[in-house]
Structures are given as structure tokens and as C-alpha cells.
Structure 1
Amino acid sequence: MATSERSPLRTVVALVSALGLGGGGLAFGFVLASVAAAVLTLGLGVEISPAALLVLSLVFVQGVGCAGVALAYMKLRPVVGPEIRSILGFEGVPGPFDIDAELPDLRGVAVVVGGYVLAIGAALAGSVLVTLLQVDTGTNQAAEIGMENPETLLILIPAAILIIGPGEELLFRGVVQGRLREVLGPVAAIFLASSFFAGLHWFALTGGSAAGNVVALAVLVGPSLVFGAAYELTDNIVVPSLIHGIYNATLFTLLYVVVAFGDQLPDQQNVAAAALALL
């Protein structure tokens, strides 16, 4: 992990670059997904099903957008970094920026298990809080597609572990949190990266009141802090990726149960719907 290198200008540059990379990765993936969908529908006359649209989004947003931008940053930083530092008048050269990824050891496995329990506990406690406050929260767009087309949830459950968790963690924990850590230290980096990650979910929500969506996003900070802390504890991006992926897969599975067996589980439907705003 990189060491802290703090000054007012370096702090501003780190904030701008980290948040720009995070938001830019998602935006880049969204643009690619939109272009691909337009080519298929307008150019080739292909009718895209909800499941196919969801696959396009997963591949281009989490796969190409998030993971691609993170990997490009690691590749280009040694080349572009010195030029930027020269323009800004910084001394020295950029330090190494690595994102370690390896199979978790026993300690890593313990962090995965403990982190998953904490993340799910935070989500369920948050969903109960949302219900008690009686605020109108929006629905995650992927969850909304799943509620209307339950078969897509059978795609989302494995995709959460294989694509969503790794892609988002590589960008937001590996790059955004890692970049902020260089100037702000680990604690501030975890909090800022987690808050930014949660805040970006505003654009994934449909419906709901402004107050309700703010509450939902505030609750989402809890699981995000768990992901960030897990990365700092292990210095292994695989660990938060597994926690995040299994966490999302659990919520998608819960949604599938609610959709498939909602008539038998009326008391659980509101809690599940509130929790799924936290995806």
C-alpha cells in the first residue's frame, strides 16, 4: 500500500483524481452499454430482452467500465504521473501503486466471513430502520428489472460474485480508496471512498422521495465501510470483492424468494424491498 504524502494541493489533486476515476469508470461503462444497446436495436434491429439488457449493463459498466478504468490507471500512472507532477510542481516521482490480488489465506477467509456477516447485518438493520421511519425509498434499477422479470435474478446472483463485486471493488477500493490513502491515510480514505460509493447509487434508484433515498444511501455507507476496512486489513482486493459479491448475491436471492413466494411471505416483503434499495 502507498504511504501518505500530504499537502493542501496534493490533497485536492488526490480528491479530484480519485472521485473522477470512480465516477468516470461508471460513466464510461454506461456510455459503452448505451452505445452497444443502440447498435443492437437501431443498427441491427435486435429486440433486447430485459435479461439481455441487464447482461449488457453488467459487462460494460462493472466489467469494462469499473475494472477497465482501474487497470488502465495502474498501467498509465507511471507514464502520465510524472508529467502531471511536473506541471503541478511536485517534487519526486509517483510512488508505486499496486492492487494486490491473491487467494485469501486463513486470515483472509476469516475477514470474508466476518465482513459478510457485518455487511448483511448493516443492510438488514438499515432496512428495518427505513421501514420504521416510513420513508419512501426508491428501487434499485437492477432489482426493479428482477421484480418484473424474475428469471434475470438467476443471472444477477452469480454475476454479483463474478462481475459486480470484483469490478466495483477494483475501482472503488483498489483505486479510489488507494489514491485517497496516499494523502489522507487509511481511516479518512475508507470513509470518503465509502461515502462516495454509496452516494453514486443515487443514480441507480428509481422512484422514491428525496428524503427516503438519502436515508437509503446513508444506510448503504455501513456495508461500504465494511468493504473498505476489509481491504485495509488484508491488502488483498479479492477479500472485499468476495464480501461485496456474496452480499449482493444474498440480497438478489432474497428478492427472488420474495418475488417467487411473496404470497406465502407477506410480512417479509416490505423489509426485503427496503433492503434491496441498498444494492
Structure 2
Amino acid sequence: MSTSARSPLRTVVAVVSAIGLGAGGLLFGFVLTAVAFGVLVVGLSIDLPDTAQIVLSLIFVQGVGCAGVAYAYLKLRPVVGPKIRAVLGFEEVPGPFDIDVDVPDLRQVAIVVGGYVLALLAAFAGSFVLTVLQVDTGTNQAAQMGMENPSILLILIPASILIIGPGEELLFRGVVQGRIREVFGPVIGVLIPSAVFAGLHWFALTGGSATGNIVALGVLVGPALVFGAAYELTDNIVVPALIHGIYNATLFSLLYVVIAFSDQLPDPQNTTAAVLALI
């Protein structure tokens, strides 16, 4: 990931393309999911249980959408990039763009552990802020489905490590952060993708007030900054993917435990609300 000279037009193009790539990957996945549901439910009259719906959504959104757009960008950039630069009149030629995938060494394993702890601390701090502010926040759709059908959480826990973490990190850290870093350098390269990542989670929320959801998304920036910093420190996408995946798996595990043992908790409603504020 190299940093090149910046011009106003180049700055605008970098930001627009980064946001477009992040949003485009998610949108592509949602469209594929809708098409699959349409074919199976409407076309073939198959009654899909909630667990099947969540599995299809994970495969198409994080698997095909996020990871697929990241892969397509890596393959198409050398072909399409020069033509776009010629049309826009860019004389500077950026360096090669890649996403390194390596088995973490001992230093990177330490960063995974430290990043996981920091991400959780950021989430707990954010949950505390939401409690103090007493704003009306929405609920993550996957978590809401998990509350209604806890068996979904048992799917989301391993899926967080195997699909959600890798898919979202390939797109948001590998492509979006790498694209922004080329123009702005490492610090802004972490900040902007973290804000984009958090902001796009707006569409995963159900209910809540506009103000409350904005505050909730602001809280999500904390863990996102940890993911981005981990990628910047290691240049190995496996590191933030592991942090993100284990972090999500921990939150879904907490929610499952709270639901499973709600009858033994002194204040199950508030405890559930506190866990939901983390997700």
C-alpha cells in the first residue's frame, strides 16, 4: 500500500470510490440475497426456516458481496484503472495494489489478542455511553432474529469467524482502507474507512430514533478503528479478520447465554438490553 501525491480531484475520486466500493459490496450481496429468496420462496414455493434465511444472507452478503467485490476490484483494477486515469487526466500512476493474506506470526498473534481486548473494551465503553445518554437505539437485525430464535445465534457464532469477519475485512480494510491510504496516508486511511464501515451499519438496524441510531453507529467506530489499526500495523488481512470475527462471535455468544439463562438473571430485561447495545 503506497501513498502518492494528492490533488483535489484525486481526493474526491478516492473518497467516492471508497464509499462506493463499501456500499456496493453490501448492496450487491443484498440484491443477490433478495433474488435467491425470490427464486426459492416465490418461484419454487419453498418455506425457508429462519436458520436457512440467515445462512443464505451470510453467504451472499458477506461471502459473495463483500469478498466478491474485493476480489473483483483486485482483478479489474489493473485493467480498468489506467482507462479511468486517462479519462480524468491523472498523470501519477499508483503503485501495485494487493491484499496480503498470511499465517500470523507471533507478533501478529499478539496484535490479534490485544486488538480483540481493545475492541471489546470499546464496545463496553460505548454501551455505557448509550446507557448514560438513554437514547432510543435500534436493534441489529441479526441479533433481533437471534432473540426470537436462539438457534440462529449458534450459527452466527462460527459464521462470525468463518464468513463475517473475513468477508467484511477483505472489503472494508483490504480494499476501502487500502484505496483511501493511497491518497491520504495511514491515519486518514484508518479513520475514513472506519466511519464508512460504521455508517453503513445503519441499514442493519431496526427501530430506534434517528438520533439514537446515529449515536449507536458512532459507538461502532471504536471497534472499527481497532480493526483498521491492526491492518495498518500488520499489512495482513488475516489479523483484522480474526479480531473482527472473534469479537462478533463473543457478542453473539453473550447474547445466547443471556437468552438461555434469562430465568436465572436478576434483571433479564436490562441485561439483554445491555448486550444488544454491544452488537
Say yes or no: TM over 0.5. Answer: yes
Cα pair distance change 1:261/1:78, threshold 3 Å: same
Q: C-alpha distance in 1, partners of 2:278/2:218?
A: 9
Cα pair distance change 1:278/1:196, threshold 3 Å: farther
Please give the per-residue CA displacement for 1:104-128, whole angstroms capped at 9, x wherever unaligned: 0001000000000000011011112
Aligned letter for 1:86? Answer: A
Query: Contact between 1:111 and 1:239, CA under 8 Å: does it hold in 2?
Result: yes
1:238 — aligned with what? 238
Report deviation, 1:3: 2.1
Q: C-alpha distance in 2, partners of 1:234/1:176?
A: 16
What SS does structure 2 have at the residue aligned with 1:263? helix
What SS does structure 1 have at the residue aligned with 2:263? coil
Report how many residues are paired. Answer: 279
When the two structures are superposed, what TM-score results if normalisation uses the length of structure 1?
Answer: 0.97
Report deviation, 1:189: 1.4
Q: C-alpha distance in 1, partners of 2:260/2:128?
A: 22
2:6 — aligned with what? 6
Please give the per-residue CA displacement for 1:49-74, whole angstroms capped at 9, x wherever unaligned: 11111011100000000000000000
Give the CA RMSD over aligned residues. 1.2
Query: Contact between 1:205 and 1:277, CA under 8 Å: does it hold in 2?
Result: no
Aligned letter for 1:163? Answer: I
Report deviation, 1:134: 1.3
Aligned letter for 2:211? Answer: A
Q: Structure 1 residue runs of 4+, over 4 Å off? A: none
1:90 — aligned with what? 90
Report deviation, 1:6: 1.1
Q: Does 1:127 align with 2:127?
A: yes
Aligned letter for 1:219? Answer: V
Please give the per-residue CA displacement for 1:191-225, whole angstroms capped at 9, x wherever unaligned: 11001100111110001111211111111100000
1:69 — aligned with what? 69
1:55 — aligned with what? 55
1:111 — aligned with what? 111
Unaligned runs of 5+ in 2: none
Please give the per-residue CA displacement for 1:48-100, whole angstroms capped at 9, x wherever unaligned: 11111101110000000000000000000000000000001111434200000
Query: Contact between 1:126 and 1:275, CA under 8 Å: does it hold in 2?
Result: no
1:265 — aligned with what? 265
Report deviation, 1:133: 1.4
When the two structures are superposed, what TM-score results if normalisation uses the length of structure 2?
Answer: 0.97
Please give the per-residue CA displacement for 1:118-151, whole angstroms capped at 9, x wherever unaligned: 0001101111211121111110000000000000
Cα pair distance change 1:221/1:272, threshold 3 Å: farther
Unaligned runs of 5+ in 1: none
Q: C-alpha distance in 2, partners of 1:20/1:103?
A: 30
Cα pair distance change 1:268/1:248, threshold 3 Å: farther
